[in-house]
Amino acid sequence: MFGRFEVGRRLGAGGMGAVYVATDTRFDRLVALKVMSEDLAGGIEFRKRFRREADVLARLDSPHVTAIYEHGEDDGTLWIATQLVRGGELGNLLRLRGPLPPRKAVRVCGQVAEALRASHSAGVLHRDVKPSNVLLRDPDAANLHAYLCDFGIADTGNDRLTAAGGLAGTWQYLAPERGGGAPATPATDIYAVGCLLWACLTGHPPYSGSGVEILVGHLEGDIRQLPGDGPEQAGLNEVLRRAMAKDPADRYSSAADLRDALARLEAELPASMPPLRPSAPSEPTARPRRRGRMIGAAVLALLLVGGGIGAAWALRDDDGDRSDGSASPSASGSPSASPSDGGTSPSAEPSPSASAKPAPPVRDPSTKQAVTFDLNGDGRGDLAFHDAFDATPAVMMANGGGFFAAPAQVLRKGLTMVVRGDLDGDGAEEIVGVEKGSEYSADGTKGNTTMTVTVGSASGTPQVLKARSAMGVQSDWSGGAMLADLDGDGRDDLVLATANAEYAESFDVWAAISTGDGFERLKRLYSGPEVVSHVEPADVDGDGDDDLVLADESEGSLAVLESGGGTFTPTDFEQTLTTVDEFMIGDFNGDGADDVLTLDGVDSKAVVLQRKRGAWDAQVWLTDKSGAFGVGWSQPGAAISDVNGDGKDDLVQFAGTTDPQSRTIRVFVASRKKFAPPVDWGTYTCGCEDYTAPIAPRENM
């Protein structure tokens, strides 16, 4: 408890501390509780900054500024309780869905301008207006409602808390005069709203490149304008031209004037006008050298900033790890900068000479760096669905931070077996279709088994790979396919396993090791007497390569085949359970070893099995007291996805609704030997039947 606030699940953590969902016990409402780091809270300057942020928020009166309810101190720990906004960041929405329709873009920016009007009237400059500092009440609403948040670096006319020469703000939204060393003014916030409008209309900030190139773009580049000569483009371009004027005197005279201009423009724009998609931002083009001294001074300022104000920016919380986007607190942050923010800020880019784009991440096989179900490489788990019975197209729903984006097709229809895994070792998983076939010699006397692997893509042409057995070797395999890293190189291999509970005499495992751009020959790695109805890949010993967990659901028993050196070895690592309706694999405590999650529909429990000292340790992580999920765990289904990217895998339920053609997506976040109560992350209107389910690393044929 902090004051009257009962702390719940963590939303995120950053340099300043952590943010939690909390319950206000006096008014029975949920709030965002920001708890400051003890290391920082001991400093006098930090305490001044904390109190200033609380005072700033408390005196702002606007429906578009997150409200502060209370702040205080408990046993030396500083905290602040603010309004909880559930819809996520504007930056996430732009990254996942692309540009907004012009009318919505203008509406959102008009509301940000209204928030600035209120703050400027109170003598407060924001100084860091950008998409990740704009929260949305409901991203799917026809009329978006936006909140401007994170006044942690706001300026109240007292700059003593910022080191000499320091700049606050993000390069992509920084006014030209600020790059030249001039102080912040209301006009600098107005310029940032102009940049924000461009980002909402196009999906990216106005200037790109290194820190220096972006700064030169703001100083010397052309003011961004939309193509086309229609009245709608003319109105939008006029606002962009004035808001982003190089000279502060040429901008709107106040945030209120900008708000009014945007309100008039919103009324003129048709609601049916689709998003505009101008070409990608070009490199900044410098004008003649008549302003070379100003550019030189600005670059020098940038260099000084990069090397000299680390202490000041250490107080900021811009790039903290939002460990759960199911709601967005007023202190905004995200694991990685979104494209709409440009990924570059004074605090994130200490060296402007680093102009090359960073190489794609490569997973270290000795660690568990890959995020479960991360399909787009943004460090957060996503979802994907497929109907094996009707062989529908596979669709991906990207994680938007508190919601899952609209479905996007990633794999063609006609594939009955669809799995997921990381084939190229880049840390992001792919959706993969697997088809069995045969090839024969010219005389028809010899044949071999072939597996066609189609790697899905949300854009572009899917990649098609082949795995073959040696000529003359044909398998009668007819079981399940899965992707598992058998050799610990970070690339998942193709594994075929025969579930023999009903018809086969032996349990057989075939595998084709990944080469990065294909597969080696299919080889039989194991044949044994086990009775198996369900098999899952899992690194239960945490050594970097995947083992196999085998289940005989009729007996309620689990066993493990340990992987090593291209073979599988039976172990005495066994467990008998009373009921196993469904089991899944995930690292739920973040220790680097996979655990087994069993879903008991009879007793409405989620039990996690962890390997400890050669035996299973079973702990109940969730008990559904309401009974609402008792018959729904395995139908329509559940998935494991690390939705907040914190290294602890979370449980996602794909639950039925009163509408048989839609499903509610509920997220149970893993934390300290338990799953938090469910949070709704949206509804998937799929026109689906009971066979539509989340895609797993394994699928039966």
Of 259, 250, 255, whose CA–CA distance to 223 is shortest?
250
Of 282, 56, 219, whose CA–CA distance to 149 is shortest?
56
Of 175, 96, 106, 188, whose CA–CA distance to 146 is shortest?
106
Provide the sign of the torsion angle of the four alpha carbons 360, 365, 368, 373, taken in this order: positive
- 459-485 per-residue burial string, b: 16 or more CB within 10 A, e: under 16: eeeebebebbbeeebbbebebbbbbbb
Which structure tokens are listed for 543? 């050594």
Pairwise CA distance, residues 556 & 561, whole Å: 17
Strand locations in 39-162 (E) = 68-74, 77-83, 134-136, 146-148
Q: How many residues are given for the chain? A: 701
Q: Which of 128, 552, 642, 649 is catalytic?
A: 128
Pairwise CA distance, residues 373 & 283, whole Å: 35
DSSP assignments along 259-312, one per residue: HHHHHHHHHHS-TTPPPP-PPPPPPP----GGGHHHHHHHHHHHHHHHHH-HHH
Which structure tokens are listed for 26? 């006096």
Which structure tokens are listed for 11? 């939303």
* 209 in Cβ contact with 284 (< 8 Å): yes
CB under 8 A, 24+ apart: contacts of 618-622: 618/575, 618/577, 619/673, 621/588, 621/597, 621/670, 621/673, 621/674, 621/675, 622/651, 622/668, 622/674, 622/675
* 618 in Cβ contact with 607 (< 8 Å): yes
Pairwise CA distance, residues 374 & 429, whole Å: 6
- Residue pointed to by tokens 């765990």: 633
128 is catalytic: yes
**Amino acid letter at 373?**
F
Give me the active site residues, please: 128
